[in-house]
Amino acid sequence: MLVAFSITPLGVGEGVSEPVARAVKVVRDSGLPNRTDAMFTTIEGEWDEVMAVIKAAVDAVAEVAPRVSVVLKADLRPGVTDALHAKVEAVERHLAE
């Protein structure tokens, strides 16, 4: 499965890059395939392992923020692997035509 998620620390002021970096570090340290952009982090793996990483990322932010907002979007497609790259590559092939 792929899960795109955004964790927003609330109550920490205008700058949130440090608390967000805590979440991204948890994801990167997980060893699961992932990608971070300006709005979301996407992670790929099995349901239980992906959700455990997201929970740990939320917990890391909650250590420094009194409130945490989470947005999730999931794509469950049994039998598919490397969707994190394959989906983008498929679009790029169409753009190259």
Cβ–Cβ under 8 Å, residues 7 and 68: yes
State the pLDDT at residue 95: 93
pLDDT exceeds cutoff 90 at 87: no
Given CA atoms 79, 36, 34, 20 in this order, what sign does their dihedral have?
Answer: negative
Helix (H) or strand (E) holding 62: helix 47-62
Question: Tens digit of pLDDT for each residue in 4-50?
Answer: 999 999 998 888 999 999 999 999 999 999 999 999 999 999 999 99
Measure the CA–CA gap between 47 and 78, rounded to whole angstroms. Answer: 11
State the pLDDT at residue 83: 87
Confidence band (pLDDT; 50, 70, 90) for 88?
A: confident
Between these two residues, 14 and 74, which has the higher pLDDT value? 74
Task: Please give the average per-residue pLDDT across 60-78, as a whole number.
Answer: 95
What is the CB neighbour count within 10 angstroms for residue 12?
16
